[in-house]
Amino acid sequence: MRTRSSSLILLITVIILSFSYLNSFPQCTPMSPEECPDPENNGQVCPDTLAYGFLNQLYSQAATIRAPLTDTSGVVIHSIKLMTVDNLPPGLTWVSNTPDSIFLAGNYYCVLMDGTPSDTGTFPLKIVVEIYVIILPGWPPFPIAQVTDSTSLAIKILDNTSLPDGKTEQLISQSCYPNPFKKWTSVDFSSDVHTKARLEIYSIHGKLLDLKEMLAVPGNNTFHYNGEALSSGTYYYHLHAGQRMISGKMVKTSR
């Protein structure tokens, strides 16, 4: 006969295991229908452009996937199972925000891709999914096909420790400061030519939120950025000047 104390220990163990299981999923949040519209109901992957990464530096990017309602022949889809995200840069892995990577048709889910890239280049992503339908009422979903979706998404990994051969202009930057910031932050950079410079601010989902421009002069330059309109959180910045581009993270805080 099981004692009350042993039953209590078993209950506590189950609660702890359940809590650990639930918290093993990535801290990513899918975009809203407004941020990732799918007017044709044929499935969608957002954002259109993923953040750049740097060699041997931690990279983290979330992508939103909306499972289609029907396939190309009009068959009603119950769900899709994300089998793999192929052609990630070496050093990166992926995980979805569901325990089995099964996405119900018409709903929004997210996939977190992170790690430390060990090679440079542009890596076009290929998303492999298995399609499930209901054959007869009361039957479990049945897989009918496996599809490789060669999306337009790609992750570009740069080596910002050196400059390509044959280029005379240089663009050198330190991290933005202060970081975290409450209202204002600055990004210093240097250029050896007169050139147009552009500062782009992106959400962690890759959505362009703000853009500022200036004329850079030979020597030291500074972008003073007013981020008062941003909500508290983490953002990416891309700074373009001539043929050069540098990226980094900035954190907006309310304190």
* Residue 86 near residue 7, CB atoms below 8 Å: no
Domains 25-158 and 171-252 share a fold: yes
**For residue 165, what are the contacts with CB-CB under 8 A and spacing of at least 6?**
none
For the domain with range 25-158, which CATH number is right: 3.30.70, 1.20.140, 1.10.357, 2.60.40?
2.60.40
* Residue 191 near residue 169, CB atoms below 8 Å: yes
The C-alpha atoms of residue 98 and residue 105 are separated, in whole angstroms, by 14
Q: Where are the domains of the chain?
A: 25-158, 171-252
Tokens 């147009």 found at: 196
Q: Which amino acid is at 213?
A: E
pLDDT (tens, 9 = 90+) of the chain, 255 residues, equals: 445 555 555 444 443 344 444 444 556 888 888 888 888 888 888 877 777 777 888 788 888 899 999 887 888 999 999 999 999 999 999 999 998 999 999 999 999 898 999 998 889 999 899 999 999 999 999 999 998 875 678 888 877 554 333 333 344 445 688 888 989 998 888 887 888 888 989 887 777 889 888 888 888 888 889 998 899 888 888 888 776 777 788 889 876
Our measurement of the distance from residue 177's CA atom to the centroid of its chain's CA atoms, rounded to an integer in Å, reads 24
The C-alpha atoms of residue 112 and residue 107 are separated, in whole angstroms, by 17
For the domain with range 171-252, which CATH number is right: 2.60.40.1930, 2.30.42.10, 2.70.98.60, 1.20.1300.10?
2.60.40.1930
Beta bridge partners of 197: 214, 241
pLDDT given at position 93: 94
* Three-point CA angle 217, 221, 224, nearest 5°: 130
C-alpha distances in angstroms, 41 versus 45, 84, 153?
Answer: 12, 22, 19
Beta bridge partners of 214: 197
Sign (positive or negative) of CA dihedral 59, 60, 64, 67: positive
> What letter would DSSP give residue 17?
H
Say if residue 236 is exposed, middle or buried (CB neighbours under 10 Å; 0-12, 13-18, 19+). buried
Q: In this structure, what are the phi and psi dihedrals at residue 247, rounded to the nearest 5 degrees?
A: -135, 165
Beta bridge partners of 54: 158
* Three-point CA angle 234, 238, 239, nearest 5°: 135
pLDDT given at position 205: 73
Q: In this structure, what are the phi and psi dihedrals at residue 14, rounded to the nearest 5 degrees?
A: -60, -40
pLDDT given at position 35: 81
SS3 16: helix
